[in-house]
Amino acid sequence: MAHDPHDHDHHHDDDHSELGAMDLRVRALQSVLTQKGYIDPAALDVLIDTYQTKIGPRNGARVVAKAWVDPKFRDWLMRDATAAIASLSFTGRQGEHMVAVENTDDQHHMVVCTLCSCYPWPVLGLPPTWYKSAPYRSRAVKDPRGVLAEFGVSLPDDTAIRVWDSTAEVRYLVIPQRPAGTEDWSEERLAELVTRDSMIGTGLARAPGAGE
């Protein structure tokens, strides 16, 4: 396992120092609105979950699926992920500087942000709660194979695991391995196999026929 900060200093811009205060404000506002009966917390949770796990990651899934079927796009993505992703109109704050890393039989990539929760929102939506947790941020570096096992991912002993540390300057998108038996599938169909976790590296793409 190699913990590589990609030769960039892990400096975080002012946004991250203010996220805590902003989060507190949002929570306070949510509490007031709930008490006044203006919002339903359960409905809000469903809305957030929908964006976090369904709508958001669909952008990244389209990027991955295109890379699987289009060699030229795949090469562009590996060479300049920011431009390749922008060509699909997936741009925005926290997605300005992207790097794509590709899983193979020999090497598996996993992404973490050890100091806070830098995350490529334009392609993955909202970061999951566990991604922001201190245990994941520390253990992903110290024991990546153990963390993967907890996510249900068991890799061969000879598969190297490389952990990438996101920063305010650079964020990563893992390109999972294309499942076998999908040789004639369309991009749209392939995108359905790409999960959020597989693009973080804590999961694999779904096998054909696998349930949600």
- Whether 210 maps to a domain, the answer reads no
- Whether 62 maps to a domain, the answer reads yes
Mean pLDDT confidence for 197-204: 98
Give the active site residue among 117, 154, 166, 198: 117
Based on the structure, what is the number of domains in the chain?
A: 1
Q: pLDDT value at position 197? A: 97
Q: pLDDT value at position 27? A: 66
Q: How confident is the model at residue 115 (pLDDT cuts 50, 70, 90)?
A: confident
**118 in catalytic set:** yes
Which CATH number characterizes residue 184's domain? 3.90.330.10
Residue 159 sits in which domain range?
A: 2-200
- Whether 157 maps to a domain, the answer reads yes
Contacts of 8 (CB under 8 A, 6+ apart): 167, 169, 170
**117 in catalytic set:** yes
Q: pLDDT value at position 8? A: 43
Contacts of 164 (CB under 8 A, 6+ apart): 4, 6, 99, 101, 109, 110, 111, 112, 172
Q: How confident is the model at residue 121 (pLDDT cuts 50, 70, 90)?
A: confident
- Whether 16 maps to a domain, the answer reads yes
Which tens digit of pLDDT belongs to each residue from 71-113? Answer: 999 999 999 999 999 999 876 555 468 999 999 999 999 999 9
- Whether 24 maps to a domain, the answer reads yes
Contacts of 141 (CB under 8 A, 6+ apart): 3, 112, 114, 163, 165
H or E segment to which residue 74 belongs? helix 71-79
Give the active site residue among 87, 113, 186, 198: 113
Give the active site residue among 116, 133, 186, 198: 116
Give the active site residue among 87, 118, 133, 138: 118
Q: pLDDT value at position 182? A: 97
Q: How confident is the model at residue 10 (pLDDT cuts 50, 70, 90)?
A: very low
Q: pLDDT value at position 37? A: 75
Average pLDDT, the chain: 82
**198 in catalytic set:** no
Which tens digit of pLDDT belongs to each residue from 32-77? Answer: 767 777 767 776 666 566 555 555 689 999 999 999 999 999 999 9
